[in-house]
């Protein structure tokens, strides 16, 4: 199964959201390796109905590798899972945060 994902970037961080329904927070393994964000999850479920004489198991796996732009602070990554959505926030390093530049006009009468 292929779940959707998106990545948004602002002045201070990169936010990755991935649709991954049917998991628990403890099912996830989130890693940053070099310039890659690795999202993995595995969930196993077993059902046994003795009166009907069968045993059933299911395994659900999720894997996504996402290239990250340079300048993320790998030591401060935060991940959360809620309502089937995995959200990973990667703060930018101080050097890569956007700096706003004021644009100055010419002083009046200088022409």
pLDDT at 1 over 70: no
Give pLDDT tens digits for 56-87.
778 888 899 999 888 888 889 999 999 999 99
pLDDT above 60: residue 111: no
* CB distance 42 to 27 below 8 Å: yes
In a domain, residue 104? The reply is: no
- Residue 102 domain flag: no
Distance CA 21, CA 39 (A): 14
In a domain, 110, yes or no: no
Mean pLDDT value across residues 9-33: 92
The three-class DSSP label of residue 25 is: helix
Strands (E), 1-111: 5-9, 13-19, 28-33, 36-49, 54-67, 78-82, 85-91
Is residue 30 a part of any domain in this protein? yes
CA-based nearest residue to 3, from 74, 75, 64: 64
Question: Domain of 35?
Answer: 5-96
Cα–Cα distances (Å) from 107 to 77, 85, 94, 103, in that order, read 46, 52, 33, 12
Asked, for residue 58, whether it belongs to a domain, the answer is yes
Return the CATH number at 46: 2.60.40.790
Instruction: Count how many domains the chain has.
Output: 1
- Is position 17 within any domain? yes
Residue 74 is given by DSSP the state: G
Q: Order of strands across the sheet with 28-33?
A: 28-33, 36-49, 54-67
């Amino acid at each position: 199964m292929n779940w959707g994902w998106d990545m948004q970037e602002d002045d201070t961080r990169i936010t990755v959201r991935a649709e991954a329904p049917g998991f628990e927070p403890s099912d996830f393994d989130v890693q940053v390796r070099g310039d890659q964000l690795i999202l993995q999850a595995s969930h196993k479920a077993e059902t046994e109905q003795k009166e009907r004489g069968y045993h059933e198991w299911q395994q659900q796996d999720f894997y996504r590798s996402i290239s990250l732009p340079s300048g993320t602070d790998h030591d401060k990554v935060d991940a959360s899972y809620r309502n089937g959505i995995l959200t990973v926030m990667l703060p930018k390093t101080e050097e890569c945060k956007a700096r706003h530049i004021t644009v100055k006009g010419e002083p009046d009468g200088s022409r």
